Amino acid sequence: MIGGCIEKMQAQSCGTCARRDDCSFVVPEALGFILSSMRRGEAAADDETFETRHPFLAFLGHVAKGIERRRAAPRAGPVRRMVERHLEPLLAGGPVRIEAMARELGFSRQTLYRRLKAEGTTYEAVLDALRHRLALRFIRDEALPVKEAAYRLGFSDPAAFSRAFKRWTGASPNALRGKKPH
């Protein structure tokens, strides 16, 4: 809520917001000052931004957005954590299918699928998130070649790893390290 309100304040569009009264209850002095400035038509210089005029409110907006994102992110349930614990050491051996993981955990494939679904995730999402997290750790380790990181994560070739890494981060592994690809 607060993050969205800060964005509206930045765009100077809280005048018609239904939560305007709630915001003014939460931060009466600050919001009252901003709203009264906007109503009077006091415009700042063109090169001034909301962040430079109101750095503390901008900071609070960023904090609030982070809190909202964190609340929206699903928490790892017990089955997901169990799958991740068992999956990590198996990745280097190549792709680990859901059937193999279910056997490893003593479940049927369908039971594992249902339990992960009850936690709001899928086996593919758990696998992808684990690979993403480990990839970031491996790429930070400058001593580990990208090719080795790809194989440790169970990718069939470094090009597949690079595509996945770019999907996760928007940059290639070498670009993240600050090196040009060979």
Query: Is 182 domain-assigned?
Result: no
> Is position 39 within any domain?
yes
Asked if the structure places residue 128 within a domain, the reply is yes
Last residue of a domain, one of 21, 55, 72: 72
pTM of the model: 0.56
Q: In terms of domains, do 169 and 154 share one? A: yes
- Please list the rounded mean pLDDT of every run of 10 residues in the chain (182 residues): 61 58 45 46 56 74 70 71 93 90 94 94 94 92 90 92 93 79 49
Nearest to 17 by CA among 1, 31, 5: 5
Residue 177 near residue 139, CB atoms below 8 Å: yes
Domain that residue 21 falls in: 2-72
